[in-house]
Chain A
Amino acid sequence: MSIDLGVLVTDVAEIDSLCDMASKLGLVGLAVVGLQSEPFKLVSKNLYVYSRVILHGKNINSVRKQIDNVRRKAMIVSVPLRNIEVANWAAEDKRVDLLTVDSTQDERLRDTTARLASTTNTYLEIQIAPLLKSTGLNRSKILKSYRESVRTATDAGMDVVLTSGAIQSMGLRSSVALAHIGILLGMERAYADSAVSSLPISIIEKNMKKLQPGFISNGVEIVHKGDER
């Protein structure tokens, strides 16, 4: 049982084929960027589609403004690893779920960012799509960047999740397939398994609790209002 937290499809027409493929591969959930207004939706017997928002911004203020608007509407909120200031802010902010390694950028995950993220349970996201599209030297450079990021994160106690980053149905991979890519990126077998199954599920479960109306903060929730008997 696993959930793919990083589906980047932009075409609504692709959603049906993605859901079919996800069911074939045994996935129970997909987090899709920007195609639905509600945080989650049951699309078939065993498959949920969750909404995901990627916060793009050049400085902390612009990202902070966006997160206030989207956190209650989206199941997953992620920030690409592009700018050290924004990355450190996102690592420290509990409202951000994922810091995404960007294979097109030279910006790498710093040890300080990873240590901040480990204290707030912000996860490092590795998307495998760039690995599927590239070959030779280009793929080698992406592998180098990903392997370094995974090592930095695990050394600092920051958890890593693997996602497909798929823009079409054939970009999806089963949990077993993703776990083998995790091993390719330098993870231990058991850790790679959790990076594709238990960790994404725990993020969704944690955020489901946060979306409940009575939730205030971790450990604090409204169980009984003053005028209720």
Chain B
Amino acid sequence: MLLAQVLLNGVLLGALYGLMALGMALVWGVLNIVNLAHGALIMLGGYVVYYCYTLLGIDPLLALPVAMASMFATGYLLQRFLLNLIVRGALLNTLLITFGLDVVITYLGQVVFTADFRTINPSYSGANFMLLGLTVPVLRLIAFGIALLLSSALWFLLNKSGLGRAIRATAQNLVAARLYGVDPRQVYAVTFGIGAALAGAAGGLYGMISHLTPYIGSSLTAKSFVIAILGGLANPFKVILGGIVVGVAESLAALYIGPTYTDVVSFLLLVVILVVRPAHALRAA
């Protein structure tokens, strides 16, 4: 029974991890930018939901679209006016600039939001029900559902829409895409915007399940990085699956080895994947 409960916890948590990594994997796959500011964008999304809930009284789940929209705009503008300038530079340059962005956003975050820790705490945040002898936390189940919903939406967008075809074409062959009339600057900005919007949704859910401070970003970036590599950059469902693998692995490690070793296990998974299937892991969208 304990094992079943731990597995369930791992799966539910893992899907949220997957949602966090989804935006990073998309941007990485299409733009070849490893966005080290991804966690900071998750943090910003969390604060948007927090203020919608505390200042405007909007239910946090209904505020998720608000966070997604505002983070889309933020991401679009960041890419259009900043990252597009260096998008075709060496990988090291994009790493450096997104690292710088991370520091800037985090410290602006402290100035604006202060270092106080906060939670998004609606009345149903602690709700749970029993199923087959297992305790199911409602909010984590909702987060699981939203992760599946958003990854499906992203899959449809990429595979069934004109915009998705343009995004994939740009990732696969930039010259050919331009010959067919795709404007890469626009596609890059929209893609980064979508990545940021997904980060925004993840941030809102993270604030409801865990807590917010301006400093949560860096550890979430690291986690997203591991999952993006585990899940590969091509398929949104595989990213969610990657998240679940990490969530379950961490939970089992906490149970059998000890809670001190959860991070060791997820990074060990990363090493194993990179050794065993490096080409698969980094194949672009």
| A and B found bound together | no
